[in-house]
Structure 1
């Protein structure tokens, strides 16, 4: 069988991995705002969509055992494409909220399953040398997918809103996305390689699998500093977990309500393009710094970086500027700081997962990571509606104190190998 170049499928595979995640986590928030939902409703409903990533570690063994990774990848891409089509159709229905949430749930579970299969396939299809070389490539194309989702798709919808009702504009946008995603499915169905190591288990001892999973799960909660570790995982990003749900709504909100009054297209530029570029550059700089100085040395600069730039939203909410460049610069600063500070978080997850069953323990860590974003997001809208945008951002800034507290509690061994950070394709 002809060997396929990784350049022929890694860029498209990780683009396909990033797009549904961005739609579920970010684009849906903007779409529901344009469809007239309240901030409390939007934050609550879209935060529940984190759940598949919270519980992903519990069904990843099933994905590994039932079929090969290639099968899961192409089938999940087909389902995601169909869900996007269903989401487009639901925009025109009387019960669009229920129908659209059902399609987003289907997309979320399929996307989480696709993540499991794609990351496993990456390890099976490439040699260790190729894995090291392409880790930056896959991360780059995941970021490109973020720009396409948070930037291009929202700007397309914004352009269409100037000619059609919001429901029609978003229906057309999701239809175009569905067609593009189904083309990705067809491409991967035809051209994704078939590595010899990617085989389906012929005989599965489910009793042994269950026992091993339980042992691994129990051993995770017996790790040293487990309470401190979980507090760090859940609270380090608490301010950002609140901001991520409210910031786009604040930027779209009417000035009379304390918002900035941006159009949908302007939001796509500010957060989906300028913001994502800042996040990416911050992450690159964070990885470079950690590789050379280590997590122990860079922990506190990264803590400052992930917290202090949150103050830009207090400035924006107080002055409510109508200068798009100024808003873009503020967003870039906050996202750059978040990208740099997030590196410490991902490195700690790797550090905490060390030892026996490190892969499974890292999966549990990412589940708690998603939980740490899900729970605050569920109440963010209610809090904002109760106190207003300015006071909400002040409260968020005050909560940065918890980030400092949990960072002060963790202990990092001197021999921790920070160079492993390049193995993580950072996701927020």
Structure 2
């Protein structure tokens, strides 16, 4: 039994894998949504950031055969920290979307390499029975890292958006603080991860080469069923992850604002009623005025936000285009329905980024930790065979909650006053105040159930990947398996924005639920030892 104090380093090593992944894959989409990028572009471009995880098997043998995995993950974590710092400086620029995407792309390669080295280090530094025992801890802290990004980081960004009134500046400072936090994690891992390897140490025979590593993986029994299962298991989840934030933060609906408007807006509103609503013909000039001047408000939880183009500085092209796009889509729908607002389907749940962060950063983290700990414990106690099907169901059935809230849009809300320190440029001025958290119990309950199910169920999938990687070159084989998993996340994610726009949120979540069925069916054809992952009881003397 290897005794290298795994409780000291496993949580933070896996946090250092999950945190940059969350920032690159998830938080980037939240940031772009906040800065006015469309759902279609978010779905395509942030899904393309999965590509380094898809093709990481191409260079994982190099990591496997050269240097120690400890040196690899420490170097990559430092590189990722620098990349996030640079993104913080480019966010305020006019070309932030292209520049930040390019840097996210480079950081994604470093993060994928960090994962390869960390996974290999985990399998080399622990005995097999330790691996199954710590699997729940490992996957839990990985997911906690993701929720830290989706939760606490988004809370921070939402708070800075309110404090500065400038979303670009808020996200710039957020990314810089992310970089500092990542550097701190890297320093911790430098001091607490054990030196268990020597340079060039192999876990298999010395005559292994790239072709041998890849060929032995594809010679495994049931390889075609295995690959199909890995590719399809997260077919639904890959789309859910991309569109869940846009659904929760997008306004519930849009309305005409017929009070507190100026004379010009009153004239445009009159033209709208007499021409569009009554089915008349409008001239080109009248249509242009309607699209630019018609007073429209976005309905959020407990508030309405005026979509007024004149309040946006000309230099803020991204925000202007975002508001213009929302106005145009709503007016297109009004014209199509001849002014019948009730015929236009409701959209999102209308929560703020700060509320989204609180929901995932507090409620979601607690549910995930509990689910992850239970998942790792039951596999360690009973083995994978008993829990594979229940865990898959636990992961996928919670999607029903999002189907319900997206179709019925329950709006029972409780306002909670949460204390926080009021921001000031004066470092000696600290004012403890409160911020209103709009607590929608249906949203919170859906998130709690989904995160618990994910924490509980994902342990089974990761344990199965460890089984697939058993044998020669387990690090590289595990990397190949997770590469196919990333491909199964990337391709559906790229299409998710277009599918959502075509179906609407309600039907989209029904589609997502249906997309989980192929993976569930394939899981029943997999062959593996029923007691795989079960903790071996030591013989009592």
Shifted more, 179-188 versus 24-33: the winner is 179-188
Query: Which residue of 379, 396, 403 maps to 1:290?
Result: 379
Deviations 1:343-401 (A, max 9, x none): 33223323333444444333221111111111111101110011110111111222233
Change (3 A) 1:101 1:400: same
Is the counterpart of residue 418 in structure 1 residue 533 in structure 2?
Answer: yes
Change (3 A) 1:291 1:20: same
Shifted more, 152-161 versus 270-279: the winner is 270-279
Query: Which residue of 344, 347, 360 maps to 2:463?
Result: 347
Contact 1:302 1:344 in 2 (8 A): yes
Deviations 1:136-164 (A, max 9, x none): 66555434433422211100001111122
> 2:195 aligns to what SS in structure 1?
coil
Is the counterpart of residue 99 in structure 1 residue 96 in structure 2?
Answer: no
Distance in 2, matches of 1:282 and 1:320, equals 27
> 1:409 aligns to what SS in structure 2?
coil
Contact 2:52 2:112 in 1 (8 A): yes
> 1:332 aligns to what SS in structure 2?
helix
Change (3 A) 1:227 1:117: closer
Distance in 2, matches of 1:193 and 1:408, equals 38
Aligned to 2:393: 304
Distance in 1, matches of 2:192 and 2:237, equals 36
> 5 Å matches for 1:142-291?
142-164=142-164, 165-186=166-187, 191=191, 195=195, 197-200=197-200, 212-256=209-253, 258-291=347-380
> 1:258 aligns to what SS in structure 2?
coil
Distance in 1, matches of 2:476 and 2:197, equals 20
Distance in 2, matches of 1:305 and 1:131, equals 22
Is the counterpart of residue 58 in structure 1 residue 173 in structure 2?
Answer: no
Shifted more, 362-371 versus 63-72: the winner is 63-72
Contact 2:132 2:379 in 1 (8 A): no
Aligned to 2:420: none
Larger Rg over CA atoms: 2
Q: CA deviation at 1:188?
A: 5.0
Distance in 2, matches of 1:5 and 1:401, equals 41
Contact 1:146 1:276 in 2 (8 A): no
> 1:418 aligns to what SS in structure 2?
coil
Aligned to 1:409: 525
Query: Which residue of 375, 386, 400 maps to 2:516?
Result: 400
Aligned to 1:379: 495
Shifted more, 9-18 versus 293-302: the winner is 9-18
Aligned to 1:36: 36
Shifted more, 254-263 versus 336-345: the winner is 336-345
> 2:351 aligns to what SS in structure 1?
coil
Please, what TM-score do these two structures have when normalized by structure 2? 0.69
Deviations 1:19-55 (A, max 9, x none): 2111112111111100111111111111111112222
Could you say which structure has the higher helix fraction?
Answer: 1
Distance in 1, matches of 2:127 and 2:393, equals 38
Distance in 2, matches of 1:302 and 1:127, equals 24
Change (3 A) 1:254 1:16: same
Shifted more, 229-238 versus 295-304: the winner is 295-304
Q: CA deviation at 1:321?
A: 2.6
RMSD: 3.1
Please, what TM-score do these two structures have when normalized by structure 1? 0.86
Distance in 1, matches of 2:517 and 2:4, equals 50
> 5 Å matches for 1:118-129?
118-122=118-122
Change (3 A) 1:94 1:278: same
Q: Which runs of no fewer than 5 residues in structure 2 stay unpaired? A: 254-345, 414-439, 537-541
Distance in 2, matches of 1:225 and 1:153, equals 42
Change (3 A) 1:25 1:141: same
> 1:396 aligns to what SS in structure 2?
helix
Deviations 1:178-220 (A, max 9, x none): 122234445555x35673733257xxx99x55xx321231232
Distance in 1, matches of 2:130 and 2:466, equals 21
Contact 1:69 1:198 in 2 (8 A): no
Distance in 2, matches of 1:20 and 1:124, equals 23
Q: CA deviation at 1:173?
A: 0.7
Distance in 2, matches of 1:329 and 1:246, equals 18
Shifted more, 219-228 versus 281-290: the winner is 281-290
Shifted more, 87-96 versus 145-154: the winner is 145-154
Shifted more, 229-238 versus 27-36: the winner is 229-238
Deviations 1:70-111 (A, max 9, x none): 432332222111111111111111111111111211221111
Aligned to 2:504: 388
Is the counterpart of residue 369 in structure 1 residue 370 in structure 2?
Answer: no
> 5 Å matches for 1:320-359?
320-322=409-411, 323=413, 324-359=440-475
Shifted more, 385-394 versus 135-144: the winner is 135-144
Q: CA deviation at 1:5?
A: 6.8
Q: Which runs of no fewer than 5 residues in structure 1 stay unpaired? A: 422-428
Q: CA deviation at 1:269?
A: 1.8
> 1:55 aligns to what SS in structure 2?
helix
Distance in 2, matches of 1:358 and 1:124, equals 9
